[in-house]
Amino acid sequence: MNFKINHIQHIGIPVTDLNRSELFYKKLGFENVMASGFDHNGGKGKMAMMQKGEMIIEIYQFPDPALDEIRNRVDGHVDHVAFDVDDIDLAFSELKNATFRIVEDAPVFLPFWKNGCKYFNILGPDGERLEFNQIL
């Protein structure tokens, strides 16, 4: 292929309550940089682009009855979005103190990359996993 892929432009995550999810991502320091409605199968959906630095997460809510499919989906969701951090222990401490739902009891070491990495996950309002990862 002759075209260049630069980086991830955005990650799209279907949600069941756009307002609740927007507040969740704002609590993580993201800013709503664009919001819009859209047509979907004769109904009106809504979306927001949430940005922090160069990362953009698109959260979108389909109208009923398509929303039921999202609520009942067992596969097809993004498994996780991983955020690179400089200090995994500080990130863990701050998110724990802010009462986010953390999956692991502590950052987990993996023997990836040259010197390994540490990670942990939090859960969003619709059960989406957000990973925080530090390459050591």
| Same domain assignment for residues 58 and 1 | yes
| Same domain assignment for residues 11 and 65 | yes
Q: Say which residues have a Cβ less than 8 Å from residue 65's Cβ, sequence separation at least 6.
A: none
Spatial separation of the C-alpha atoms in residues 66 and 72, rounded to whole Å: 10
Residue 65 has pLDDT above 60, yes or no: yes
| Same domain assignment for residues 95 and 116 | yes
For residue 19, give the nearest of 42, 46, 56 by alpha carbon.
Answer: 46
The pLDDT value given to residue 63: 87
Mean pLDDT within 56-63: 91
Residue 3 has pLDDT above 80, yes or no: no
Q: What is the DSSP letter of 103?
A: S
Structural domain ending residue among the three candidates 35, 58, 76: 76
Q: Say which residues have a Cβ less than 8 Å from residue 77's Cβ, sequence separation at least 6.
A: 13, 14, 128
Structural domain ending residue among the three candidates 29, 55, 76: 76
How many folded domains does the chain comprise? 2
The pLDDT value given to residue 113: 85
pTM: 0.73
Spatial separation of the C-alpha atoms in residues 69 and 126, rounded to whole Å: 13
Q: Which domain holds residue 130?
A: 79-136
Spatial separation of the C-alpha atoms in residues 15 and 125, rounded to whole Å: 8
The pLDDT value given to residue 90: 95
| Same domain assignment for residues 10 and 65 | yes
Tell me the per-residue pLDDT of 93-126, one tens digit each, with 9 for 90 and over. Answer: 999 999 999 999 999 998 888 999 999 999 999 8
Contact 31, 48 (CB under 8 A): no
Residue 29 has pLDDT above 80, yes or no: yes
Before 111, cis peptide (omega within 30)? no
| Same domain assignment for residues 3 and 66 | yes
